[in-house]
Every structure is written in structure tokens, then in C-alpha cells.
Structure 1
Amino acid sequence: MLEIHLDEQDIDRQLRADVQLGLSATPKWLPPKWFYDARGSELFEDITRLPEYYPTRSERTILAERAAGIAAITEAKTLVELGSGSSEKTRLLLDALLSRGTLGAFVPLDVSRTALAEAVAGLTTDYPTLSVHGVVGDMTDDLRHIPDGDNRLVAFLGGTIGNLIPAERAAFLTGLRAVLGEGEWLLLGTDLVKDPAIIVPAYDDAAGVTAEFNKNVLRVVNARLDADFDLDAFDHVALWNAEKEWIEMRLRATTAQQVRINDLDLTVDFAAGEDLRTEISAKFRRPGLETELAAASFTLRHFWTDPQGLFAVSLAQAVSG
């Protein structure tokens, strides 16, 4: 089953609003969600297999070790995954919860109707006893469409919460808590603060895959809004912001130039060396994460890391405010 709360017209309106706002701002920015057309999704899958990109491997290691324990602790009847994509890592949780004998339903939520339809079809085939209810929606706007349930476990993996600035994270966690009942669960993947010499190459790999992925946001704007970005006129930049403890991905104009976005009747000037920020990826420490969760009425129950301490998976429970 596929429930649609976000269609192509909605996506087009969001893109137009984001591009108008972000490219008119100082400094300029675009949200990272616009990386992910079909080509962008393929490139990201390539990134997750790069030797420099540790988050996916580290999180999978934790889930492989802890899935059975998570199932025993939560005894979840419904598993919800936000930003599910292919739901590959989630199969570790599905297998553990089904083995526990509690799980009856899986609800993946994703903005991509195509990717979600493929995932739902595959999961329905592979797990014939499981009710699979896909929701096409935005994790920041459509949480209210998560089906009601009893003892739900919401998984938000991959460190994606780090793409939100602190105010956005607070709003997201508060919104999620509002749709959960007391005692329900959040399983959260977060990248951890560590030596920048480990972090930065994960966003600036030697093969240049991340650079191509970063520039894909310009391809998306060109294709969907009839713009004329010259991708060769921008360099990929990944910087560690020590004060805010996050990575910033940017596209840096190599020359002074004008970009025309015809569908918005907008002309954008770039100075030589000017940056367009396309993503932040915040890294976390346990005390700060625990504070953010508590502010949204979640209590941190468990905090697991991989053997190298690169990444964490946290299990938090909704409590009364």
C-alpha cells in the first residue's frame, strides 16, 4: 500500500520556494534534499561504498550487533522509518522484530514515490506476513500522516538529522514527539565528533564522487527550473566548522558569473570565489544529544557506538513533558 501526501506539484512548489529564498540570501544556500533526483540517489549509494565514507558501515555494524536487543527492549508492533530509501539497513530491525514475534506492520516514509514504491514491492514479497504501508511525504512536514498504532518504533537512521540546523532539529523532534504516544520509541543514528582528518575525507573523497553528488543540485535546478548553471564553473568544497562541530559542503564559483533561472525570472550574480552552501552535517556528543532529546520530551535509554567510536545509534523513549 502506498499513501501519497507529496506529489510532483508539491515538490515543484517547494523547489521554487527554496531556490528563490536560498539564492537571494547572503550567503547563498540550497537545502540538501535537492541532491536526490534519480542520479543523485545513485551517486549517494556510490558514496556509501567509498573507503572514506565510514557512517554507513559503522551504523550497520551497530545495528547488526544490537538489533535483537532493540527488539527485546521495545517489543515494537509497528516499525516506522523516516527517509527510508531502499530500507536496506532496516531489514536488520525487521528480521529481529519478526523473530521476537511482536511486529505486525512496517511504515516507510520517503519523499521519492518511485524509490518508495520499489521498496514497498520488494518488502511485501520478502516479508509476506508483514503489513507494509508506504507514506510518500516529507519528514519535516508530514509526520502527522504516520498511521496510528500501538507501541511504535520510529527509526531515523544514517545521521540525516545532522543535516538540520539546531532550530530545525528542535522543531523536528518536537513534531515527532507530538505524534507519538508516551512510551513509544525513537531509534536515532548520529555521527559523532571526532578528528576532522577522519570526517573531512568522507565528504571530499579521492575519487570525486562526492564532488559530483554536490554538483547534482545544480543539475536538478537546471532541469526543473530551466536554469543555466555551468557545473564546470563551480568547485566542490568540504569544510570542518570547529565552532559548530559540523561539516559544510559548498560549491565555490571559480569565476565571476551570472546564472539565469528562467522559471523564476531570476538572475543570480556570483563573485569569483563566492560560496553556495549546499549541506551541513552536524556531528554529535552524547551530552548534547541527550539534552536535545530531553527538550522534546524524549528520554535517552541506550546509546551504542561502533568499536571505533565513530558513529552512534541511540534508543530514546517518549515521556510526558
Structure 2
Amino acid sequence: MTPRFTLTRRLAPDHAARSLRADVSAGLTATPKTLPPKWFYDARGSDLFEEITRLPEYYPTRTEREILTAAAPAIAQLTGARTLVELGSGSSEKTRLLLDALGANLRGYAPLDVSESALREAGEALVRDYPDLEVAATVADFESPIVLPDTPGPYLLAFLGSTLGNLDAGQRAAFLTSVRTALGPGDALLLGADLVKDTGELLRAYDDSSGVTAAFNKNVLHVLNRELQADFDPDAFDHRAVWDPAEERVEMRLRSAHEQQVKIAALDLLLHFEEGEEWRTEISVKFRRESLAAELAAAGLAVRQWWTDEHERFALLLAEPV
């Protein structure tokens, strides 16, 4: 490991296993049944999501990149950040746009992700390509309290990809409060947010014609079969993408094709599914500028700058603690 790349583990070795058991025990015995979307992302799930981001129907990734490419110089000028912290960094590909814009003023990059392998691969590549950059990676869950690294400020905390939309209102309030607690004077939050738009365009992004999103959704069944010795038959569930107008969010669901029972041996749990019963595997909230600004304000964060694409499909915003 190069001295300019360090990796800290803030999660216990059995954190993922314990979290999965807890989420399945609580979520799949509830009415309606639910699971959080983080369980899509084993190696196969991550590959499928990368494939989704390249589909013509899936606009968020390329639109955010387009906005970030145009806005990165202004972000650098407005923040003067010396440390870039990124939550849910993954491969850190879009991050390079910010690293290039922040330039010589930037001293450190602190990615945070639950995947140690992704952090290690991205971190080693970045210190190779940016000879003056120090990378301090942390294996952690972004829903835990946010702790900034012991590196020079001001800090720019990036939370891209509209991952905020995977949280419900209560979870978003807790997360934004945690962000505000972590940030000090002169620091800033860079947030990606998918916007409310035509329902057809939204649903096509989550139910593509090639069936990649359906395979991604069903991948959670393979994860449960492997990790918890369950006997889900993926062919016995159908992928569904549904728009909830009251909550202004897309929900991904799995619908039972027929009445069936599923055993999860590791939990000694027997689940019953009615024909047509749907269980939710993801929410993806879509935002409006005024309501998102109000959520940020409630947490003590003020929007300083707002960027969007020409069709106003996606937004990138810079917020500061007040």
C-alpha cells in the first residue's frame, strides 16, 4: 500500500451479515414486505448497475456527469476546498472531474463506502494518477454519523448520484442533520438530486426494454439465496416499477407470480406470498427545488448554488451550514 493511500475500517467484519439478517427479519415479515436497496449490490449487482447507467433509458448518471463537467470550475472557485469527502464513492469515476477542477489547492480526498475492494481499487488508481494527492479511505455506512478526516479544510462533502432519493423523509432528515453536524464554517455540501418530471420518462429509467433493471432487481433474490440459504425462485417473481404520485417517488417492486412459500433457512423463517403480492426493494424519491431547499434548511443548510441540465431533469446543488 502506498503511503499516500490509507484505509480505515469503521465497520465490524460481520457488519454486512448482521445488517442483512436484521433487514430481512424486519422487512420481510412486515406488511407490506420491504428491503433496502443496498442488498442489490454484490459483485454481480454492481456490474448490472454499471450496465444500467449506460442504457439509453437511464438518464441520471450521464445527466449528472454533464452538469458536473460544466459546474466543476465554479464549484472549485466557490468552495476553495482543500479536502474532498465523498459518501458512497464506489469507483470514484465522477470524482475525477472535481479533483481536476480543485487542482493544486486540494490536499486530500476522503472516500467513504461499504465496499473495501472498491475503495482500495479506486484509491490506488487515484494516488497513481494524482502524484500530490493523499487518499484517506474509510469503510463505513453513510447512514452512520459522519466523521470528517483529520485533514486540512475547508471540506467539500459530495453526495452524488441522487442516492438521497433512496431515503424516506425521516431518513433524509436524519442524514442531513448528520451532514450539518459534521460541517463547519467554510465547508460545503455538494448534492446530486433527481427531479420530478414526466412519469413515462421516469418509469422507463427503472424498467428498460432490455430487461437489465429487472435482472438487477431480481439480483436481491440471488443474494438472499446465497447469504441466508433461502430458496427463492427468481422466475417466480416479476419486476415492477411504479410511480407513487403522493410521495413523488419511483418504487421498484417484486411481484409474486403465484401463491408460494419461501424458506430462509439461516433465519428459520418461512415466508408466504399471495399471488400478485408485491414487496418493495427500492424507493427513488424525485425532488422539486423548493421542497428540497426546505428540507436542507430544516437541517441547518442553505442552498448557495443550483445547477441543472437544459431539460431540468437532474440537479446539482451546493449548500452551506448556517
TM bucket normalised to smaller: over 0.9
Residue 171 of structure 2 aligns with which residue? 168
Please show how residues 282-321 of structure 1 align to structure 2 within 5 Å. Answer: 282-319=285-322
Which of 185, 202, 223 aligns to 2:188? It is 185
Per the TM alignment, residue 102 of structure 1 is displaced from its structure 2 partner at its CA by 1.5
Q: Secondary structure at the match of 2:306?
A: strand
Please show how residues 266-281 of structure 1 align to structure 2 within 5 Å. Answer: 266-281=269-284
Contact 1:5 1:142 in 2 (8 A): no
Residue 3 of structure 2 aligns with which residue? none
Q: Which amino acid aligns with 1:227?
A: A
CA-to-partner distance for each residue in 1:92-136, whole Å, 9 max, x for gaps? 0000001xx321000000001111111111111111110001111
Give the 4+ runs in structure 1 shifted more than 2 A.
144-149
Contact 1:135 1:146 in 2 (8 A): no
Q: Distance in 1 between matches of 2:320 and 2:57?
A: 33
Contact 2:263 2:270 in 1 (8 A): yes
Q: Distance in 1 between matches of 2:150 and 2:219?
A: 34
The reply on whether 1:208 has 2:241 as its aligned counterpart is no
Which of 43, 49, 55 aligns to 1:50? It is 55
Q: Distance in 2 between matches of 1:51 and 1:230?
A: 29
The reply on whether 1:135 has 2:138 as its aligned counterpart is yes
Identity value in percent: 58
Per the TM alignment, residue 145 of structure 1 is displaced from its structure 2 partner at its CA by 5.9
The reply on whether 1:71 has 2:80 as its aligned counterpart is no
Per the TM alignment, residue 218 of structure 1 is displaced from its structure 2 partner at its CA by 1.1
Shift in alpha-carbon separation, 1:152–1:260, aligned structure 2, 3 A? same
Residue 229 of structure 1 aligns with which residue? 232
TM-score, length of structure 2 as denominator length: 0.97
The reply on whether 1:116 has 2:119 as its aligned counterpart is yes
Contact 2:145 2:178 in 1 (8 A): no
Per the TM alignment, residue 36 of structure 1 is displaced from its structure 2 partner at its CA by 0.4
Q: Distance in 1 between matches of 2:131 and 2:8?
A: 19
Residue 100 of structure 2 aligns with which residue? 95
CA-to-partner distance for each residue in 1:5-49, whole Å, 9 max, x for gaps? 124401100000000000010000000000000100000000000
Contact 2:187 2:321 in 1 (8 A): yes
The reply on whether 1:24 has 2:38 as its aligned counterpart is no
Shift in alpha-carbon separation, 1:178–1:287, aligned structure 2, 3 A? same
Shift in alpha-carbon separation, 1:79–1:112, aligned structure 2, 3 A? same
Q: Which amino acid aligns with 2:266?
A: D
More displaced, 43-52 or 136-145? 136-145
Mark the runs of 5 or more structure 2 residues left unpaired by the alignment: 1-5
TM-score, length of structure 1 as denominator length: 0.97
Per the TM alignment, residue 68 of structure 1 is displaced from its structure 2 partner at its CA by 0.5
More displaced, 178-187 or 229-238? 178-187
Residue 265 of structure 1 aligns with which residue? 268
Q: Which amino acid aligns with 2:27?
A: G
Per the TM alignment, residue 75 of structure 1 is displaced from its structure 2 partner at its CA by 0.5
Q: Secondary structure at the match of 2:105?
A: coil
More displaced, 137-146 or 260-269? 137-146
Per the TM alignment, residue 148 of structure 1 is displaced from its structure 2 partner at its CA by 5.5
Residue 199 of structure 1 aligns with which residue? 202
Q: Secondary structure at the match of 1:228?
A: coil
CA-to-partner distance for each residue in 1:262-284, whole Å, 9 max, x for gaps? 11111111101001100000000
Per the TM alignment, residue 143 of structure 1 is displaced from its structure 2 partner at its CA by 1.6
Q: Distance in 1 between matches of 2:149 and 2:309?
A: 30
Q: Distance in 2 between matches of 1:48 and 1:69?
A: 26
Q: Secondary structure at the match of 2:92?
A: coil
CA-to-partner distance for each residue in 1:157-189, whole Å, 9 max, x for gaps? 001000000100000000111111133100000
Q: Distance in 2 between matches of 1:220 and 1:256?
A: 22
Contact 2:83 2:151 in 1 (8 A): no
Residue 35 of structure 1 aligns with which residue? 40
Q: Distance in 2 between matches of 1:35 and 1:88?
A: 20
Per the TM alignment, residue 318 of structure 1 is displaced from its structure 2 partner at its CA by 1.2
Contact 1:62 1:304 in 2 (8 A): yes
Q: Distance in 1 between matches of 2:185 and 2:132?
A: 28
CA-to-partner distance for each residue in 1:209-257, whole Å, 9 max, x for gaps? 0000001111111111111111000000000111110000000000111
